[in-house]
Structure 1
Amino acid sequence: MNVIQQITVQIRKKLSNQFIRNLSWLGMAEIIYRVMRLVLVAIMARYLTKYDYGLGAILMTVREFALTFSNFGIGAKIIQTEEKELKDLCNSAYWLNWLIFVCLFVIQCFISYPVSLVKNTPELILPICVSAIAYLIWPISSIQKTLIQKENRFKVIALTDSFLFSLGSLLSAAFAVSGMGIWSFALPSLIVAPLEIFIYYHYHHWRPTTGFTTKYWGEIWNFGRNILGIGLLKTLRNNLDYLVIFTLLGVDELGIYFFGFNAGLGISLSIINAVNSAIFPHLCSVRDNPQDFRKTYFNSLKIIALVIIPFVLFQSSMAQFYVPIVFGKQWIPAIPVIILVCLSAIPRPFADAASQLLVAVGKPHLDLVWNGIFTSVFAIALVVGVNWKEIGVAAAVLIAHMICLPLFSLWATQHVFGKRK
Structure 2
Amino acid sequence: MNFSTFQTKVKKKLNNKFVQNIGWLTGAEFAIRVVRLMTTVVLARFLTQYDYGLAAIVLTTYEFTFVFTDIGIGAKLIQAKPEELEDLCRNAYWLSWVLYGCLFLIQGLVAFPIAWFYSDTNLVLPIAVLGGVFLVTPLGVVQAILLRRENRLEIQALNKVAVQGTSNILSLVFAVLGLGIWAIVIPKLMVTPLWAYIYRRNHSWRPSGGFRSEKWKDIFGFGKNVLGVELLKTLRTNLDYLLVGRFLGITELGIYFFAFNAGLGISLSIIKSINAALLPHLCSLRQDWAKMKQQFYKSLKIIAALIIPLVLLQSTMAPFYVPIVFGEKWIEAIPVLMIICISAIPRPFGDAASQLMVAIGRPDIDFKWNIIFTTVFTISLFIGIQWQVIGLALTVLIVHMLALPAYTIWATRYAFNRNR
Match of 2:171 in 1: 172
- Tell me whether 1:86 sits opposite 2:85 in the alignment: yes
Do the aligned partners of 1:41 and 1:259 also contact (CA within 8 Å) in 2?
no
> What aligned pairs does 1:119-134 form with structure 2 within 5 A after superposition?
119-134=118-133
> What aligned pairs does 1:267-416 form with structure 2 within 5 A after superposition?
267-416=266-415
Do the aligned partners of 1:77 and 1:224 also contact (CA within 8 Å) in 2?
yes
Unpaired segments of 5 or more residues in structure 2? none
> CA offsets per residue over residues 110-132 of structure 1, 9 Å max, x none?
01011011222111111111111
CA RMSD of aligned residues (A): 1.7
More deviation in 211-220 or 14-23?
14-23
The letter for the 2-side match of 1:282 is: H
Unpaired segments of 5 or more residues in structure 1? none
| Distance in 2 between residues matched to 1:11 and 1:358, nearest whole Å | 30
> Displacement of 1:271 after TM fit?
2.0
The letter for the 2-side match of 1:122 is: T
Do the aligned partners of 1:15 and 1:300 also contact (CA within 8 Å) in 2?
no
> Displacement of 1:10 after TM fit?
6.2
| Distance in 1 between residues matched to 2:93 and 2:249, nearest whole Å | 41
- Tell me whether 1:115 sits opposite 2:114 in the alignment: yes
The letter for the 2-side match of 1:302 is: K
Any idea what SS the aligned residue of 1:118 has?
helix
Match of 2:226 in 1: 227
Match of 1:188 in 2: 187
More deviation in 219-228 or 209-218?
209-218
The letter for the 2-side match of 1:399 is: I
> CA offsets per residue over residues 201-258 of structure 1, 9 Å max, x none?
2211111102111111000011000000000000000001101101111100000000
Relative to 1, partners in 2 of residues 1:298 and 1:259: Cα closer, same or farther, differing over 3 Å?
Answer: same
> CA offsets per residue over residues 311-330 of structure 1, 9 Å max, x none?
11111111000000000011
| Distance in 2 between residues matched to 1:157 and 1:307, nearest whole Å | 20
Do the aligned partners of 2:39 and 2:169 also contact (CA within 8 Å) in 1?
yes
| Distance in 1 between residues matched to 2:224 and 2:368, nearest whole Å | 13
| Distance in 1 between residues matched to 2:235 and 2:336, nearest whole Å | 20
| Distance in 2 between residues matched to 1:135 and 1:179, nearest whole Å | 27
| Distance in 1 between residues matched to 2:157 and 2:18, nearest whole Å | 14
Q: TM-score, normalised by structure 2?
A: 0.96
The letter for the 1-side match of 2:362 is: K
Match of 2:17 in 1: 18
The letter for the 1-side match of 2:22 is: L
Q: TM-score, normalised by structure 1?
A: 0.96
| Distance in 1 between residues matched to 2:13 and 2:293, nearest whole Å | 12
The letter for the 2-side match of 1:187 is: I
| Distance in 1 between residues matched to 2:411 and 2:70, nearest whole Å | 23
The letter for the 2-side match of 1:131 is: L
Do the aligned partners of 1:92 and 1:217 also contact (CA within 8 Å) in 2?
yes
Q: Which runs of structure 1 show a deviation greater than 6 angstroms over 4 or more consecutive aligned residues?
A: 6-11
The letter for the 2-side match of 1:70 is: T
Do the aligned partners of 2:148 and 2:276 also contact (CA within 8 Å) in 1?
no
The letter for the 1-side match of 2:283 is: C
> Displacement of 1:417 after TM fit?
1.4
Match of 2:152 in 1: 153
The letter for the 1-side match of 2:213 is: T
Any idea what SS the aligned residue of 1:214 has?
coil
| Distance in 2 between residues matched to 1:106 and 1:279, nearest whole Å | 33
Relative to 1, partners in 2 of residues 1:328 and 1:219: Cα closer, same or farther, differing over 3 Å?
Answer: same
State how many pairs are aligned.
Answer: 417
Relative to 1, partners in 2 of residues 1:19 and 1:11: Cα closer, same or farther, differing over 3 Å?
Answer: farther
Match of 1:244 in 2: 243
| Distance in 2 between residues matched to 1:309 and 1:42, nearest whole Å | 25
> Displacement of 1:156 after TM fit?
1.2
Relative to 1, partners in 2 of residues 1:77 and 1:162: Cα closer, same or farther, differing over 3 Å?
Answer: same
Relative to 1, partners in 2 of residues 1:213 and 1:150: Cα closer, same or farther, differing over 3 Å?
Answer: same
> Displacement of 1:160 after TM fit?
1.1
The letter for the 2-side match of 1:405 is: L
Relative to 1, partners in 2 of residues 1:7 and 1:252: Cα closer, same or farther, differing over 3 Å?
Answer: farther
> CA offsets per residue over residues 288-333 of structure 1, 9 Å max, x none?
1011101110000011111211111111111000000000011000
> Displacement of 1:408 after TM fit?
0.7
